[in-house]
Structure 1
Amino acid sequence: MTTLVIVESPKKVKTIGPILGDRYTVMASVGHVRDLPPKEMGIDPVSFALSYEATERGRSVLAKLKAAARDADAVILATDPDREGEAISWHLAESLKLNNPQRVTFTAITKDKILAAFKAPRALDMQRVHAQEARRALDRIIGYRVSPALSNATGQRIGAGRVQSPAVRLVVDLERTIAAFKSTQHYGAELIFSNDDATKWKAQFDTKPHLAPGETYLLDDTLAKLAAAVRNVTVAEYSDSEEGKAPKAPFTTSTMQQDAGKRLKLKPKVTMQLAQKLYEQGAITYHRTDAPNMDEEGIADIAAYAQSAGLKLADKPRKWKAKDGAQEGHEAIRPTQAANLDCGEDEAEKALYRLIWQRAVASQLADAIYAVRAVRLAGDAEGTPVSFKATGKTLVSPGWQAVYAEDAPDEDDEKDETSSNPIPALAVDDALVASDGRLLTKKTKPPVRYKEPTLIGAMEKLGIGRPSTYAAIMDNITTREYIVEDKKGYLSPSSTGEILRDGLVDRFAFIDLDYTRGLEDQLDQIAEGQASYHDVVSAAWASLDDELASLESANLPVAHPCPTCAKGLRRIKGEHGFFWACSDRECKTTLPDAKGKPGERKAPPAPTGINCPKCGTELAHRVGTSKPVKRGMKPRPYDFYSCTSPKCDAKYNTGADGKPVFGDDAPAAKEAS
């Protein structure tokens, strides 16, 4: 008896096959085998049923799988354990005409996980399949219905996306906030004290007691200058205490992408590719997850490693609250075996594995403990009582930070200057003399532009898309140049990105961040059987009917206005190369293409005074040299007469006397090409 097992990746075939043994034949679908048609929407506007067809690669894959399925006694579908994987299994079942197909899932490619999964096969989860179909349908509807209308309204090719467009909006809105920002100059002061061992520590002027109601900053430098001149102070408050700092949760898909971007400078797409390889090698658990918690097996594995390595564990296993709307179908990302300190086939994979390993192992260790010394100093600034505050921290027990060694686990945190502020032991009422003081002149700063990791963080916080889609979203909006990245990785919108945002905001619900988050909730409800595919998709379709009508009357900025009617010009590829035409079908204006931009109209031909025998309109004498249609072809001269009426296509050769040749024996002229 043989059983055919179908997974997604060829790499898994090599990993899983030896675990299952000779009675199993493992083959790969290589991702999706069916998809919506590439050149049409593929959605029935009444039933909203989706029309699928085999992909070009899928046809050859299905042929091999069908042959293998005929020879097998049973077929088990073992694609990835998320909605996309569930949909791929359903497409395989449909294409291979499987009756009551068996489905297994595992969150790590290890012997224990795989054998346990194959002992408990289940039926296909059609609710999860319908949720994936709804996401695909919504993306398709918006792309096919909104993009052409937006392109016509703006005169340039613009693609609207259900989640990509809100991501672009975040970048545009932030850029406009930065542009509108007005800096405020404000003041502070600090005193500097010298210790016996030649080290120095600092105390900051507490401006809050001196602010008027409603003020945030000290705007008058007079008091700040007086405070900076204070030298004699008295200790008003003093304390020594301990402070614990807990580790962060193990990685979810989103936090892995963010941290890999900050610490390893990896693009989200590259991070996901590397994680996929690590997962297929059996090094980490499944890398598409919203869950911040590990399963009991993972916690126990890390505890065993920590004890063997002399690392102090937390008093009890740590758990974290998942963010609202998180899909916790499987655990957080972790190493499958914490004792494996080095996994991956190249340096990039090894670096990402190390990042995942550190985060997961650290999550179960004891807090880092700091000794904290705080002091408040009282002084007199020429009759005005002033106070200064200082805090110093010293690490006394590294706890979870021990697994990071020389690495910086909190690169995203603001620099903590208190860790380098060596305050000596003091007592209340001690008199101190500052060795120096200085005025601090400060300016409020505008918000910082997004980088890809921080944009992903903002999208997750706002509920835009799902973490597993963030890499594709980033790739889409940067490849299409709706946003651009500078040399330091900061993102700013292009003019096209701004036009996209302005064309959608206040007209389409899907660009509103609350709506986007709510729609993700509806997809979750479909997966849980609390909502239906038809209700969610049909409602989105209906709302677009009214919204598209509002776009037709919108007066949007266009990149290249038509010189005749001011509506947008569109670049079109014709038989003889690119040209520009008005997006208004009633306007017949066309312009030549000049390196991707509208060129100038050719001057109208001089009057000939010769009427067209076919319609009576004046003929024009066309003389010139044609552009080569293909590379390597030489330009060809032309010389003929043609009718100037747009409704008449009459053309005539030029005779020896320079005039058009009429008559039955005169062939119609052809422009050289």
Structure 2
Amino acid sequence: MAKNLVVVESPAKAKTIGKYLGADYRVMASLGHIKDLPSKGLGVDVEHDFATTYEVIPDTKKRNNKKTVAELKKAAKEADAIYLAADPDREGEAICQHLAEEIVPKRPKKPAFRVMFNEITKRAVQEAFNEPKQIDVHLVDAQQARRVLDRLVGYKVSPLLCKTIGGRLSAGRVQSVALRMVVEREREIEKFVKTEYWTVAANLTSKLPPAFEARLWKIGEQTVKTSGFDQEVKKSEILVANEQQASEIVAEAEGQSFKVAEVTTKERKRNPVPSFITSKLQQEASRKLGYAVKKTMMLAQKLYEGIELGAEGAVGLITYMRTDSTRVSDTALGEVRDFIGQQYGPQYLPEKAVHYRSKKGAQDAHEAIRPTDVRRTPESLEGYLNNEELKLYRLIWQRFVASQMMAAIFDQTTIDIEAGRFVFRATGSVQKFDGFLRVYEEGRDEKTDEDDAEVARKLPLVERGEALKLNSVTPEQHFTEPPPRYTEATLVKALEEKGIGRPSTYAAIMTTILDREYVEKVEGRFHSTALGTTVNDLLVASFNDLFNESYTARMEEELDEIEEGKLKWTSALREFYDKFAKDLETAEAEMKAAKQQAIPTDEICEKCGAGMVIKFGRFGQFLAC
């Protein structure tokens, strides 16, 4: 019989780890958290240092949890030692703490250890078991502080929404800030006033082909304004604001001689980007593969926990997928450099490994997301992964390999052409060396025609002073565009840049605001619903500090400080709660006085002719006059 018990979260992970440990270890799965704050009642004593009451999650909330816990207890009783091997993050540490409380025998006391690995490979698993550790109380405290914060906000604020608007509504500490960003973007779009502007392009021929286009760049000493319309036109700029102005420029330009004034060619390097962190993987999978954040994380979890590879059995294909670190282990760097040299040749291999700096506050104990073995090319896995898994693996593999390759090199040419008081400019870019682009190119959120045109544009060889033949001068009307609505990729990017949420929370934020019908997706972009706008306005009016970006970001920093042992979790909560309690009191009084909110519609009541509104009852939305 196995002497040691190992507990992980999922059966897939248990299967992969089991084959590396051998017959002395029995590996079982807890199927995620086994304990949580109670489903009925607050479970937090705010008067006594936020003492918490946890319960084993009832079967009504998590299927067969009672049976799972009983089986783990029995196995722990029979084992000589217990190894708790949940994921290497706050949630994983909290799962291990709850397992230690519930399943590890107290009499006789049995040794219990915490083991962590960033990848599920034979080497990583054996190293972790050779040096087992104890549960990190600071990580547990950080998770508990986040859970209690979320419980306090949800439990205290959600009933106010239900009373004021009706129906079953919820507020969340982070989800409500994301909703606010979507609503505020919607209002920016509604308020946006278009600005008309015109560009003028000349089609020209030199001694050598091909014919090319140059845009009007300057009139006298003034630069033609084609961007930055939220700012006033400077003295050094000129705005071609209407058709008449553009037509006058065209007429004048057609009577001028066009001559090359300046030709400059500069070498431009384009460097590769680091291996993925969680948020960047979510953004790129959304842009390139059209995957929702939730789907990306579900697929990445499978790749991390292990996929059956024929005779090889279950193999973890990528490192842990919740990380904000760009660090890569020296072993993996050595392997990828060997691979690049052999596969693509020495000209693609930098002299030394490329090290990228992680953002401030990143947890560098983790690595970036990368393949566990770079020699497992996407092509070699085609028979084992389904189409969606393979696409995500290919993205991760390509990004990792490209991150350690040479920069791409371009020749960027600029031709300035004089025509009377006008200066026209043509730019073009020619790739001299593909470098990392041979393997991977990062996607963009909002592509511009100009970006694509510059790389595609081929310019002829011209000399300074050379006369050019004018073929045509064409004016083109443009209007400024409002800021674009958020996609999943751009909302994750904005949340990350503002320090809101963490790698483990982005997927849950998106899911919650969609499931609550506070936002809807139209052609892949978030639109706030009438309900979402009403909920947001109520929350902002009563809890402006709580549901704003900088406050939420500061709370995330405090959670990081708790994790690092720099801040006591109860002190952070006390500071939060003292202000929150006052805001809550004010909000309760204001909302009690307010009439139940209703959302106006364009519908007219057939009986009385009054405008109809949406109201919310126990069973959902209904129309009333």
Whether TM exceeds 0.5 here: the answer is yes
Which residue of the other structure, out of 222, 237, 241, is the alignment partner of 2:262? 237
Cα shift readout 1:476-500 (whole Å, capped 9, x = no counterpart): 11011100011x1111101111112
Which residue of the other structure, out of 291, 302, 306, is the alignment partner of 1:277? 302
Aligned-partner residue type, residue 70 of structure 1: K
Partners of 1:540 and 1:498 in 2: CA distance: 26
Cα shift readout 1:63-90 (whole Å, capped 9, x = no counterpart): 1111111111111111111111011101
The match for 2:323 is: 289
Per-residue deviation, 1:254: 0.6
Partners of 1:226 and 1:422 in 2: CA distance: 29
> Residue 388 in 1 paired to residue 421 in 2?
no
The match for 1:153 is: 164
Aligned-partner residue type, residue 305 of structure 2: E
> Residue 209 in 1 paired to residue 223 in 2?
yes
The match for 2:590 is: 553
- Which structure shows the bigger proportion of residues in helix conformation? 2
After the TM superposition, which segments of 4 or more aligned residues of structure 1 sit over 4 Å from their partners?
A: 195-198, 220-223, 554-557, 567-570
> Residue 83 in 1 paired to residue 85 in 2?
no
- Are 1:155 and 1:560, in contact at CA under 8 Å, matched by a contact in 2? no
Partners of 2:595 and 2:124 in 1: CA distance: 56
Per-residue deviation, 1:556: 7.6
Per-residue deviation, 1:226: 4.2
The match for 2:5 is: 4
Higher relative contact order (CA 8 A, sep 6+): 2
**Over the residues paired in the alignment, what is the CA RMSD in angstroms?**
2.4
Cα distance, 1:195–1:10 mapped onto 2, change above 3 Å? farther
The match for 2:119 is: 108
1:509-548 equivalences under 5 Å are 509-548=545-584
Tell which deviates more after alignment, 191-200 or 532-541: 191-200
Aligned-partner residue type, residue 286 of structure 1: Y
- Are 1:289 and 1:329, in contact at CA under 8 Å, matched by a contact in 2? no
Partners of 1:268 and 1:8 in 2: CA distance: 21
Cα shift readout 1:62-119 (whole Å, capped 9, x = no counterpart): 1111111111111111111111101110110011145562111000011111111111
Per-residue deviation, 1:549: 2.4
Partners of 1:225 and 1:363 in 2: CA distance: 49
Cα shift readout 1:122-156 (whole Å, capped 9, x = no counterpart): 11100000000000000000000011112222334
Partners of 2:31 and 2:238 in 1: CA distance: 58
Per-residue deviation, 1:200: 3.1
- Are 2:142 and 2:560, in contact at CA under 8 Å, matched by a contact in 1? yes
Cα shift readout 1:228-281 (whole Å, capped 9, x = no counterpart): 342521211112222111111111111111111111111111110100000011
> Residue 22 in 1 paired to residue 43 in 2?
no
The match for 1:584 is: none
- Are 2:534 and 2:599, in contact at CA under 8 Å, matched by a contact in 1? no
- Are 1:4 and 1:26, in contact at CA under 8 Å, matched by a contact in 2? yes
The match for 1:489 is: 524
Cα shift readout 1:617-658 (whole Å, capped 9, x = no counterpart): xxxxxxxxxxxxxxxxxxxxxxxxxxxxxxxxxxxxxxxxxx
1:446-485 equivalences under 5 Å are 446-485=482-521
The match for 1:620 is: none
Cα shift readout 1:375-412 (whole Å, capped 9, x = no counterpart): 111111xxxx11111111111211001114xxx64343
Per-residue deviation, 1:314: 2.6
Which SS does the other structure have where 1:416 is aligned? Answer: helix
- Are 2:339 and 2:375, in contact at CA under 8 Å, matched by a contact in 1? yes
Which residue of the other structure, out of 253, 272, 292, is the alignment partner of 2:278? 253
- Are 2:319 and 2:372, in contact at CA under 8 Å, matched by a contact in 1? yes
- Are 1:393 and 1:420, in contact at CA under 8 Å, matched by a contact in 2? yes
Partners of 1:204 and 1:401 in 2: CA distance: 29
Cα distance, 1:454–1:560 mapped onto 2, change above 3 Å? closer
Per-residue deviation, 1:196: 6.9
Which residue of the other structure, out of 64, 85, 89, is the alignment partner of 2:71? 64
Partners of 2:250 and 2:615 in 1: CA distance: 63
1:399-438 equivalences under 5 Å are 399-404=435-440, 409-412=442-445, 413-414=447-448, 415-438=451-474
Aligned-partner residue type, residue 173 of structure 2: R
TM-score, normalized by length of structure 1? 0.80
Partners of 1:387 and 1:358 in 2: CA distance: 43
The match for 1:53 is: 55
Which SS does the other structure have where 1:91 is aligned? Answer: helix
Partners of 1:391 and 1:132 in 2: CA distance: 53
Which SS does the other structure have where 2:358 is aligned? Answer: coil
Cα distance, 1:216–1:461 mapped onto 2, change above 3 Å? farther
Cα distance, 1:469–1:38 mapped onto 2, change above 3 Å? same
The match for 1:303 is: 337
Tell which deviates more after alignment, 385-394 or 169-178: 385-394
- Are 1:131 and 1:524, in contact at CA under 8 Å, matched by a contact in 2? yes
Partners of 2:250 and 2:154 in 1: CA distance: 61
Per-residue deviation, 1:222: 4.8
- Are 1:315 and 1:366, in contact at CA under 8 Å, matched by a contact in 2? no
Identical residues among aligned pairs (%): 37
Cα distance, 1:308–1:560 mapped onto 2, change above 3 Å? closer
Cα distance, 1:6–1:178 mapped onto 2, change above 3 Å? same
Aligned-partner residue type, residue 69 of structure 2: L
> Residue 501 in 1 paired to residue 545 in 2?
no
Partners of 2:350 and 2:581 in 1: CA distance: 56
Aligned residues between the structures: 568
The match for 1:355 is: 395
Per-residue deviation, 1:198: 6.1
Gapped regions of structure 1 (runs ≥ 5)? 562-566, 573-577, 579-594, 601-673
The match for 1:95 is: 102
Which residue of the other structure, out of 421, 425, 444, is the alignment partner of 2:480? 444
- Are 1:240 and 1:374, in contact at CA under 8 Å, matched by a contact in 2? yes
Which residue of the other structure, out of 188, 200, 221, is the alignment partner of 1:177? 188
Partners of 2:508 and 2:157 in 1: CA distance: 20
- Are 2:530 and 2:599, in contact at CA under 8 Å, matched by a contact in 1? no
Tell which deviates more after alignment, 56-65 or 273-282: 56-65
Which SS does the other structure have where 2:96 is aligned? Answer: helix
Per-residue deviation, 1:546: 1.2
Partners of 1:148 and 1:114 in 2: CA distance: 47
Partners of 1:264 and 1:490 in 2: CA distance: 15
Aligned-partner residue type, residue 94 of structure 1: E
Tell which deviates more after alignment, 437-446 or 173-182: 437-446
TM-score, normalized by length of structure 2? 0.86
Per-residue deviation, 1:507: 2.8
Which SS does the other structure have where 2:439 is aligned? Answer: helix
> Residue 379 in 1 paired to residue 379 in 2?
no
Which SS does the other structure have where 1:121 is aligned? Answer: coil
Cα distance, 1:430–1:599 mapped onto 2, change above 3 Å? closer
Per-residue deviation, 1:569: 6.8
